[in-house]
Amino acid sequence: MDSKEIQKRVDGLAKAMIAKGLREPTANMKCESHVGYELYLKWKDVTKADLYDNGAYEFIKGKGLADIFSKAEAFIAALPSADEARMKKFMGALANVIDLGRSNGVEIEFLNPLQATMKKLSENILTDQRAA
């Protein structure tokens, strides 16, 4: 693999991260003496609007360039889409509100619609039945 091919693969990783809806993605490849190649992926969480968010990252090492790129591509493919990440964050917040209501003795008639919404969202996620 020559330097142009390596650059093309690294650029492709950043494009794949963009396709997943990740903010400010970067992919860095380095070759260090007596260590070999390392790949570093970094991005910001799509569900956060915090200017001070340092983001998330992943270091990938392997037995060679092909192995490293294969691992990186599989890692990115396994990441949730932007919509999935937002829905997970929303469902977590909704679950927290329901728990807060229960612990503070909020009347059941206020909690029932929230619980019904949570159940419907959970079923939609499991079966991918998005409302039209």
**Mean pLDDT throughout 120-132?**
60
Residues 6 or more apart whose CB falls under 8 angstroms from that of 25 comprise 14, 17, 18, 41, 42, 43
107: which DSSP letter? -
Residue 126: pLDDT band by 50, 70, 90 thresholds? low
User: Looking at 57-66, 73-82, 96-105, which range is the least confident one?
Assistant: 96-105
Give the other-Cβ count within 10 Å of 86's Cβ.
Answer: 14
Nearest residue to 23 (alpha-carbon basis) of 2, 61, 65, 51: 51
Cα–Cα dist 35/61, whole Å:
10
Q: pLDDT value at position 132?
A: 46
Average pLDDT score over residue span 3-11: 94
* Strand order through the sheet with 56-60: 23-32, 36-44, 56-60
pLDDT digits (tens, 9 = 90+) for 46-73: 666 666 667 888 999 988 899 999 999 9
The residue ranking higher by pLDDT, 85 or 48, is 85
Strands annotated E in 11-129:
23-32, 36-44, 56-60
- The model carries a pTM of 0.65
For residue 109, which amino acid is it? E
Q: Are the C-beta atoms of residues 2 and 62 closer than 8 Å to each other? A: no
